[in-house]
Amino acid sequence: MDRPRLLLIATGGTIAGAAASADRTQGYVPGALPASALVEAVPALRGLADVVVEQPYSIGSQHLTSAHWLTLLRRLRAAAADPSLAGAVITHGTDTLEETALLVDLACDRTLPVVATGAMRPATALGADGPMNLYAAAATAVDPAARAAGAMVLMNDQVLPPDRAAKAHTSRTDAFVARDGAALAEIVDGRPRWRVPPAEAAARRPSLAAALDPLPQALPRVDLLAQHVDADPGVVDWLVSRGARGLVLAGTGHGTMPDPMRDALSRAAAAGVMVVRASRLASGPVNRNAGVDDDRWGFVPAGWLSAHKARVVTALAIAAGLDRDGLRALIDRY
């Protein structure tokens, strides 16, 4: 029987990291190993799929820019048009993996399943988690049930939806969770055991793939600012002066902020800046007009999106030409 064809896009991160000794899980160099080393570490991949390997860049994901993102999106869009491919896997640093997964899901055609994975221990460590994550991600991407599933995150034996996947621990191998939700599947004996039909889950999420065709040359600037005691509302005016077209507030509690910050953000909204009100907390939604009169002040509540994921969605929405009502309707679908 012919094996399915799989595209592996390696971008660096801990999964390709190298340390001075096998007992080191900190202080390593992310992205030190080439993509070929990742494949060679998992011989069982050969029995699973014909793997096509590409490496557009190799960095720690804390160094990602929107230029890296656009390079990745262009390649995945081309891959989605290739009928010979059954799926794609992105190996990625875990620091921003969840943001990249949501970006891909929102901006790319979902006919091609794309599974983003990484590791919490470098490839040179005893008990490295990267090889099993890579194998399980490949098995998920080529699973016939995953067709039209869009982007997913595979970490610590769970397949997570891109809007809910969250890194919740700095170093443990079980660092990833489904924020305010459940995993789409558990990995059992190297294969996904689906709890939810992934294509049905994807169909409930919004898409901007058509509106972003062609992709822009650059993404609009959207900044994230955190509310805290003595936060300076002057930062808002400074960010706008620097060219911010969107601002996402990681507010206290239910996305709250003191009056001076509210007034500064409202001035920005009145000037045409997209202002999204999110929370700095690890779980829970920010609902419309709950605690803050969003309609009066010109804000868009982030709903179930975390602050940093709301930033990704806001940037793509602006690039797609959505207005405030359009962004609100888009976020409501999450």
Residues annotated as catalytic (active site), given as ranges? 14
Which phi and psi (to 5°) does residue 310 adopt?
-60, -35
CA distance 119 to 225: 28
Q: Which of 271, 303, 77 is nearest to 179 (CA)?
A: 303
What does the angle CA 223 – CA 165 – CA 171 come to, to the nearest 5 degrees?
Answer: 90
Token pair of 250 as six digits: 């990681």
Q: Which residue has the tokens 């992105």?
A: 90
